[in-house]
Structure 1
Amino acid sequence: MTGEAPPRLIWDWTVRLFHWLIVLIIPLMWWTAEEGHMDWHRRLGMTMFALILFRLIWGLIGTWTARFGPMIRRLGSLGDYIRDLRSGAHMPAFGHGPLGVLSVFALLLGISIQVSTGLFAVDVDGLESGPLAVLISFDLGRELAEIHELNFNILSGLILLHIAAILFYRFRLRDHLVKPMVTGKRAAADFGSQELPENRMRLVPLLIAVILTAASVYAVLEAG
Structure 2
Amino acid sequence: MSQPVKVWDFAVRFFHWSQLLLIAGLWYTGEEGLMAQHQLLAYTLLALIVARIVWGFVGSDTARFSRFAATPLQALRYLRRPYPVTGHNPASFYMIMLLIALVLLQLITGLATFDNSYLTDGPLVSVLPSAWVDVASAIHKININVLLAAIAVHIVAAIWHSLRRHNVLWVMLSGKDSQAGDVSPGLKHAGWFFLLVALLLTSLYFWQGAKLMALL
Q: So what's the TM-score if we normalise by structure 2? A: 0.84
Q: Which of 171, 175, 179 lines up with 1:184 in the alignment?
A: 175
CA contact (8 A) 1:131 1:220 kept: no
CA distance in 2, matches of 1:155, 1:185: 29
Q: 2:196 aligned with 1:209, yes or no?
A: yes
Q: 2:36 aligned with 1:30, yes or no?
A: no
Q: 2:95 aligned with 1:103, yes or no?
A: yes
CA contact (8 A) 1:121 1:144 kept: yes
CA distance in 1, matches of 2:149, 2:100: 14
Query: Considering only aligned residues, what root-mean-square deviation do their CA atoms show, in Å?
Result: 2.6
Ranges in structure 1 where 5+ consecutive residues have no aligned partner: none
Distance 1:27 1:94, change over 3 A: same
CA distance in 1, matches of 2:44, 2:54: 16
Ranges in structure 2 where 5+ consecutive residues have no aligned partner: 212-216
Q: Which of 84, 90, 94 lines up with 1:92 in the alignment?
A: 84
Q: Which residue of 2 aligns with 1:82?
A: 79
CA contact (8 A) 2:106 2:144 kept: yes
- Which aligned runs of 4 or more in structure 1 are off by greater than 6 angstroms? none
CA contact (8 A) 1:119 1:131 kept: yes
How do 1:37-186 and structure 2 match up within 5 A? 37-73=34-70, 77-83=74-80, 85=81, 90-123=82-115, 125=116, 127=118, 128-173=120-165, 175-186=166-177
Tell me how far 1:44 sits from its aligned partner: 0.8
CA contact (8 A) 2:5 2:176 kept: yes
Tell me how far 1:154 sits from its aligned partner: 0.5
CA distance in 2, matches of 1:169, 1:111: 24
- Identity level (%): 30
CA distance in 1, matches of 2:188, 2:95: 24
Higher relative contact order (CA 8 A, sep 6+): 2
